[in-house]
A and B are shown apart, each in its own frame.
Chain A
Amino acid sequence: MTFKKTMLATLAAVALMGAAHADITVGVVQPLTGPASGLGIPVKNAIMIWPKTVAGQNIKLVVLDDASDPTAGVKAAQRLVTEDKVDVIIGSSATPVAIPMADVTAEGATPQLATSPAALPPGKDKWFFRLPQSNNVMAYAVVQQMKKQGIKTIGFLGYTDAYGELWLKAITEEAGKNGMKIVGTERFARADTSVTAQALKLTSGNPDAILIVASGSGAGMPQKAIMERGYKGKVYQTHAAATPDLMRVAGKDADGTFVVSGPAMLGAQLPDSNPSKKASLAFLEDYTKAYGAASANQFAGHGADAYTILEKAVPVALKKAQPGTPEFRAALRDAFEGMGRTVISHGVLEWTPQDHWGYTNETGVMMQVVDGKFKVIQ
């Protein structure tokens, strides 16, 4: 008799615990090998140092490698949706992988937090949310800075690819709102041997400012070409150029250049008025404590931000359903859309049913290159 009672009590306790502590399963699909592994590994590293629970629920992680390959990414997403029945998928950091994954997550009705700025056709991103900033909020910060300097005419020198095209669209729109004009549009490719001709044409129109749209060390050559033409106006660079590679390649020619950036990597440099300062400092401290100094980058920031978002959305979703059910996944999706202003290390996020990019205009931070170093403009 006593044995039976104990058994019953134990069973009841187990059942209750099970109900209170259903695990939240988080699927992570990242390029851990292949050309994009430099982006995927930091995201995974940041997720590995998450707290073990969120809103009182244990977190169960399922990490899969997409090998920077769209096919592998789709397979991984299918496995997570059908077999593991995950509550949310984080990934991928490679844009060409994240896009086809969106079809799988939409079909499986599982929210996806993409760590790449993937553009999807309208209506396709119901389950798809992005952690990186769109070019539009960056263009906003650039144009605000230009406005302060009284700039009226802008020359555009950008990549002949999607990045250049999206920036041209964003800057044309923002500049138009503020009464500025794009007076010249020149293109080049990263592997070009010379941009002298483009720089010549652009500077001969003598715009008040020139915006260079390029990434990493590719931003150095156009910077040098424009300076060699003796250009005296202001030069602007985009957030893809906000790396020390710009100064490594362009050297002294980079001095005085204005560069827009997200706040995640700036930490202590940010003015106290920046809403993301606390989140950025916390992210940098946690990450460097786990992986050593100077190991953090902006992709690691996306990994850390994903937790902040879950922390806010999961309690809301838990009120409606239990993790592991389709109802919970739908509730989580709705919670993302309805969670309102959320401060993360990469800026201020506000997803709405219409906008799954969602960063507000407080996000972009303007920096200037002074003596070969980035300085935040206060």
Chain B
Amino acid sequence: MDFSIASILLLDGLTNGAIYALLGMCLVLVFTVTRIIFIPQGEFVAYGALTLAIFQTGQVPGTVWLLLILAAVAALMDLVAVWRHRGRAAPALLAALRTFLPSAVIAGISAWAAPRGLPMLLQALLTVGIVTCFGPLVYRVAYQSLAGASTLVLLIVSVGVHFAMTGLGLLFFGAEGFRNPPFWDMRLPMGPLNVSGQALVIFGMSAVLIVVLWLFFERTLYGKALRATAVNRLGARLMGISTSSAGHLTFALAAFIGALSGLLIGPTTTIFYDSGFLIGLKGFVAAVIAGLASYPGALVGALSVGVIEAFGSFWASAFKEVIVFTIILPVLLWRSLASGHSDEEH
């Protein structure tokens, strides 16, 4: 191994690490606010990349129909819940409509736009819109009624949601993979390195997202509400913060970042309907390194996962995944020795 090989590996590792970082931070966010270990995070990545790929072929992606069905189910649940609670039809219908309308609008625009061959940037925008709508709906349908359940129950629900979403992905996108065209088709020779435009887009977008997330949590009311919920659910409720709308917002953020990650990674690799799981799992390793609690920790963890993965593939490609997933063991050992006590249920 010489310097040029090491630098190529480092670049490759950091490019993938940047994506893992986004997913790792999503997992930390979802866990701190809702106590859900969100295994299906990776599915949003696959849905994002593949929805754009189907748009590129000029067809209406199956996710559009799924969105409509899911929105209808969620609206029905809202209708029943509000009706039972208030006993009147008008507010119940209003609540249902409020759940259904945004998804219906996005689905309508998508169905109209799909055969028209719009520029890729607009298609990407629509894709992000579609997948972001999935977030709150998934929370409403699968998790909201269980919000008070134990972490273990929520984890089991996550596994179920993961399998459902992977299966639906196979139905909508088929068994073959897609590779999207790059957003920025450029090559920048730097010594032995050949930096692609897409890698720069990935680094740039990740950095921007991280800064925006930081601003969101530090400067906005919603962000502060989410942080308050993360610190103490009961306290936040006593202060008038709705934990269910905190859940919706968190899932919308998670789906948004997932979709964006999908768009970023789509041009650098072939994405299959089930690719998301492994990508999400590596984000999860990063989140665990951060103790499912610290954003900078998740960032550092994700970048090291990416770099270890790249060097692991170089030295022992057959054992690459083993190497990546084994680093979680010393980290867990160190964390449990360092903290010394367990406070998972409070």
B194 interface neighbour in A186, A189, A195, A228, Cβ under 8 Å: A228
B269: A residues at CB distance < 8 A: 192-194, 221
Is the pair A187, B317 in contact by a Cβ cutoff of 8 Å?
A: yes
The contact of A196 among B12, B178, B275, B279, by CB within 8 Å, is B12
Task: Say whether A218 faces chain B, with CB atoms less than 8 Å apart.
Answer: yes
Q: A187-B317, A217-B270 are in contact. Are A35 and B175 (CB under 8 A)?
A: yes
With A160-B318, A218-B177 as given contacts, are A190 and B272 in contact (CB-CB < 8 Å)?
A: yes
With contacts A193-B265, A249-B179 taken as known, whether A218 is within 8 angstroms of B317 at the C-beta atoms is: no
Give A170 to B187 CA distance when docked, in angstroms. 39
B residues contacting the other copy or chain, number (CB 8 A) = 33
0 or 1 for each of A103-141: is its CB under 8 Å from B? (1 = yes): 000000000000000000000000000000000000000
CB neighbors of A among B309-327 (8 A): 310-314, 317-318, 320-321
Once the chains are docked, how many angstroms separate the CA of A249 from the CA of B269?
9
Assembly CA distance A191 to B177 (angstroms): 9
Q: Say whether A38 faces chain B, with CB atoms less than 8 Å apart.
A: yes
Does B9 lie at the interface of the complex (its beta carbon under 8 Å from any beta carbon of A)?
yes
Which residues from A are CB-within-8-Å of B275?
A: 191, 193
CB atoms of A221 and B12 under 8 A apart: no
- On whether the beta carbons of B19 and A193 are closer than 8 Å, the reply is yes
Given contacts A160-B318, A193-B16, contact A35 B170 (CB under 8 A): yes
**How many angstroms from the CA of A173 to the CA of B113 in the assembled complex?**
54
Binary interface encoding of chain B residues 301-342 relative to chain A, with 1 for a CB under 8 A from any of its CBs, else 0: 000000000111110011011000000000000000000000
Cβ–Cβ < 8 Å partners of B270 in chain A: 217-218, 220-221, 249
Question: What residues on B are CB-neighbors of A193 within 8 Å?
Answer: 16, 19, 265, 268-269, 275, 278-279
Residues A191 and B179 in contact, CB atoms below 8 Å apart: no
Which of the residues B19, B175, B177 comes within 8 Å of A38, measured between beta carbons?
B175
Kindly provide the distance from the CB of A288 to the nearest chain B CB, expressed in whole angstroms: 22
A245 at the interface (CB under 8 A from B): yes
B270 to chain A, nearest CB (A): 5
What are 18 pairs between A and B in contact, CB < 8 Å? A35-B170, A190-B272, A191-B277, A192-B278, A192-B320, A193-B16, A193-B19, A193-B279, A194-B12, A197-B9, A197-B310, A197-B312, A198-B313, A200-B8, A216-B175, A221-B270, A245-B176, A245-B177
Q: Which residues of B contact A187 (CB under 8 A)?
A: 317-318, 320
Number of A residues, CB within 8 Å of B = 27
- Bound CA span A287–B226, Å: 61
Query: B residues within 8 A CB of A221?
Result: 179, 269-270
For chains A and B in complex, what number of residue pairs have CB atoms within 8 angstroms?
A: 88
Q: Is B149 an interface residue (CB 8 A)?
A: no
Cα A190 to Cα B274 with chains together (Å): 10
> Taking the complex as formed, is B156 at the interface, i.e. its CB lies under 8 A from any CB of chain A?
no
Extra contacts besides A194-B268, A249-B177, A249-B270 (13): CB < 8 Å: A160-B318, A190-B272, A191-B277, A193-B265, A194-B12, A194-B269, A195-B313, A197-B312, A198-B317, A217-B176, A218-B177, A221-B179, A249-B178
Q: Give the distance in Å from the alpha carbon of A201 to the alpha carbon of B277 in the complex.
A: 27
A residues adjacent to B (C-beta < 8 A): 35, 38, 160, 186-198, 200-201, 204, 216-218, 220-221, 228, 245, 249
Q: Interface majority SS on A: helix, strand, loop or mixed?
A: helix
With A187-B317, A204-B5 in contact, do A197 and B272 touch (Cβ < 8 Å)?
no
Contacts of A191 in B (CB 8 A): 272, 274-275, 277-278
User: Is the Cβ of B278 less than 8 Å from the Cβ of A201?
Assistant: no
| Nearest Cβ on chain A to B6's Cβ, whole angstroms | 10
| Minimum Cβ distance to chain B for residue A41 (Å) | 14
Q: How long is the Cα–Cα vector from A38 to B171 in the complex, in angstroms?
A: 12
Query: 8 tightest A-B contacts by CB?
Result: A197-B313, A217-B177, A197-B314, A196-B12, A187-B318, A191-B275, A217-B176, A187-B317
What per-residue 1/0 map shows which CB atoms of B164-191 lie under 8 Å from chain A? 0000001000011111000000000000
Shortest B14–chain A CB gap in Å is 11
B209 to chain A, nearest CB (A): 18
Q: Which residue in chain A gives the minimum CB-CB distance to B187?
A: A228
Let me know if A188 and B317 touch, CB within 8 A: yes
Question: If the complex has contacts A193-B269, A194-B268, A249-B179, are A200 and B314 also in contact, measured as CB distance less than 8 A?
Answer: yes
